[in-house]
Amino acid sequence: MPWESKPHAEIGRAPHLRHLERLVAGLRAGRGGAVAVTGEPGAGKTALLARLMERVPETTTVLATSGVESEAALPYAALGDLLRPLLTRRPTPPAPPPLPALPPLPPPQARALGAALALEDGPGFTPYALCMGVLNVLVGAARSRPVLVVVDDADAIDQPSATALLFAARRISDEPVAMVLAARSPIDGLSELPLTAPALARLTRRELQVARAVAGGLSNPEAATALRLSRKTVETHLSGAYRKLGVRSRTELVRYLIEADISRFVR
């Protein structure tokens, strides 16, 4: 699903991306798990999740949703967004890759899921039946191919959905199912992958442009010409970038950008 993120929010996130990719790679060996990506707004959580989903093999089923504060009081809204593609199985053109076949659920779990997600009428259900149903849907889908569940703004999803997902998250370590949840604060019971706002995120757009140009080998006058700025403006932005990044020379600037894994942005 499309998520908005800051243009350079993924800068410096290569180690975090590799950590998540190792989690996904373990699915091929039947190892699952769950991790909470935590950080303040602007730290790059959304961009990191989007980047991860871009790199997931096509042989992996990806189920994704994002918390919406206005729906936080609507029970099972987030769960419905995640699981409905598996449960309703209605292909839309152009045809997506076929979804994995699901084994039948025990009747109490099937009824609980159907009622919770408004897929069928039914009497009341126990929360445990619903939680077991969610777990077995994910594990059942993973029998055909690995499953990756991605939830952005997990702290904004409705509580019943959160309860069911965390119930499943604690029970998938020996299944080819992985969960990555992004939230502002740690999530009880999940390993944490904390993000702090990178120094580059504090640069203005112009400061980043000037830093990239200079690190790419342009002199101040050449950078001014390329960016259609005055030399004084280039010097001002470069000084600001030096100060915010804690570097004192072009050599240190280049080293910083390489270590921050944005060498591919340097022109």
- Work out the average pLDDT over 195-208: 80
Interatomic CA distance for residues 245 and 256, integer angstroms: 8
Q: Is the pLDDT of residue 10 over 70?
A: no
Q: Is the pLDDT of residue 100 over 70?
A: no
Q: Is the pLDDT of residue 31 over 90?
A: yes
Interatomic CA distance for residues 196 and 198, integer angstroms: 6
The pLDDT tens digits for 151-188 are 999 999 999 999 999 999 999 999 999 999 999 999 99
Interatomic CA distance for residues 8 and 112, integer angstroms: 43
CA separation, residue 154 to residues 149, 161, 228, 233 (Å): 12, 10, 43, 42
Q: Is the pLDDT of residue 8 over 70?
A: no
pLDDT band at 203 (very low <50, low <70, confident <90, very high): confident
pLDDT in the model for residue 164: 97
